[in-house]
Structure 1
């Protein structure tokens, strides 16, 4: 019997993405896997049921039937990444079933414990290591690319100026000045998008090694006289720094931010509250009409005044705290997510079997529950379990 892979409609509010697209279904079918798709699962992302049927998927009308028949359940958001509705899906799952999704295991570990008690084999896509072989599976990077793009579009809509320089018969319009804090995937895409729109762009990151990437996109690297040792962990993610570092950083950033028309902040640390980088006094030094787009809003925000999910004004400065931006671009976000997931599944299955114990760094670092236990050491620490 072929391994069955189930995809259901997402239940997280305003989540319009789907975990597998018709193209990904075709790819998995070629590997002798059997995708099962809930009717309407891809509709909000622009993928009709007919496209799935044409790709060879089996469409089923009932969510419960997908959970009953699938060996692997693939979702965009599950467990801690779907905080209000994860338990209803968990109740439909059975011992030995495999779950692959974003599950927020470090920020919300309690649902992971419940999944272990249910006997699930759970893989957290957030934990995919940043190694060359895993690039095709890196959902955080693929989705962050889109978030960085959309952040610039939001800023352009809010800013009462245009981005590019224009020379007209009525005189020259100077370009907007845009500053990006954090040159990870989202930050670099924000730089590239803002440059394409004609803004004068500068950027800062605690990791001096990204200077070359920033400058290669045509932006200026802002150098602050700060020691930033060990600013990146072994997996390639930003590491949390101490309070004194962030205090001094904020002091130095204040002068830079005061000169900007737009600030896009992207600084985040996996599983932790986002560092506070933009204080109320710093906002109050910005000119009226300026814009801050805080991409760390879901983690508490880099700006002291950010209200997650809202756009507010403070002394004439717009502050946007968007949530789940990739879901606002569901067609392409789903395409990228599905390619990542399909690559992950194909790497996971060995000799026609799911092998959670494979001697493979990608499998080992993403596996969070297996055989009734929470097995990921960092998640165990969050839960206060013995090493």
Structure 2
């Protein structure tokens, strides 16, 4: 088998997102990657383990991270998660690097290659990977819904 990609369940209780969709898993599997999705990783986003399995992923445990060449996460890995990754693995996530020197040093010490999605260039060709704009857009939609809920009159659409 070729290289493996691991998609973990996010440990932060306030983080419902998952780093890949079934469509992403299908694409990666189609390219020859072994895709392992941690059991329950998508539940906060209303994606079941069966959805990931139907797309070509294998449902695994956090321990499967040890054999992964690439780890896809929403947020930067915790120190506990880093201990479960193999040296030389690449981690792709929103790293929030500014002011978090200790976390970056821990990744370097663990032999992890970190790719910070916030640093993707904001150009047309990279637009599909622009996490800053896409997440800001979602926050804007949510703000409108929250205002409409609190407003005591009908809103024109």
TM range (shorter): over 0.9
Compute the displacement of 1:92 (Å): 1.2
1:37 matched to which residue of 2? Answer: 37
Measure, in 1, the Cα distance between the counterparts of 2:3 and 2:24.
15
- Do structure 1's residue 88 and structure 2's residue 77 form an aligned pair? no
> Where do 1:1-387 residues align within 5 Å?
1-60=1-60, 62-64=61-63, 66-79=64-77, 86-164=78-156, 197=157
Measure, in 1, the Cα distance between the counterparts of 2:11 and 2:40.
12
Measure, in 1, the Cα distance between the counterparts of 2:74 and 2:126.
18
Which whole-Å deviations, capped at 9, do the CAs of 1:189-235 have from their partners, x for residues lacking one?
xxxxxxxx3xxxxxxxxxxxxxxxxxxxxxxxxxxxxxxxxxxxxxx
SS in 2 for 1:94: coil
Which whole-Å deviations, capped at 9, do the CAs of 1:238-277 have from their partners, x for residues lacking one?
xxxxxxxxxxxxxxxxxxxxxxxxxxxxxxxxxxxxxxxx
Compute the displacement of 1:146 (Å): 0.9
Measure, in 2, the Cα distance between the counterparts of 1:150 and 1:7.
26
Measure, in 1, the Cα distance between the counterparts of 2:37 and 2:27.
15
SS in 2 for 1:16: coil
Compute the displacement of 1:111 (Å): 0.3
Measure, in 2, the Cα distance between the counterparts of 1:98 and 1:152.
37
Paired residues, what number? 157
Measure, in 1, the Cα distance between the counterparts of 2:136 and 2:92.
19
Measure, in 2, the Cα distance between the counterparts of 1:69 and 1:114.
19
Measure, in 1, the Cα distance between the counterparts of 2:131 and 2:124.
14
Compute the displacement of 1:72 (Å): 0.5
Compute the displacement of 1:159 (Å): 2.4
Which whole-Å deviations, capped at 9, do the CAs of 1:293-341 have from their partners, x for residues lacking one?
xxxxxxxxxxxxxxxxxxxxxxxxxxxxxxxxxxxxxxxxxxxxxxxxx
Which whole-Å deviations, capped at 9, do the CAs of 1:343-387 have from their partners, x for residues lacking one?
xxxxxxxxxxxxxxxxxxxxxxxxxxxxxxxxxxxxxxxxxxxxx
The runs of 5 or more residues in structure 2 that have no matched partner are none
SS in 1 for 2:104: helix
Measure, in 2, the Cα distance between the counterparts of 1:87 and 1:38.
18
With normalisation by structure 1, the TM-score equals 0.39
With normalisation by structure 2, the TM-score equals 0.93
Compute the displacement of 1:54 (Å): 1.2
Compute the displacement of 1:94 (Å): 2.5
Measure, in 1, the Cα distance between the counterparts of 2:88 and 2:101.
20
The runs of 5 or more residues in structure 1 that have no matched partner are 80-85, 165-196, 198-387
Which whole-Å deviations, capped at 9, do the CAs of 1:117-147 have from their partners, x for residues lacking one?
1111000001111112111111121221111
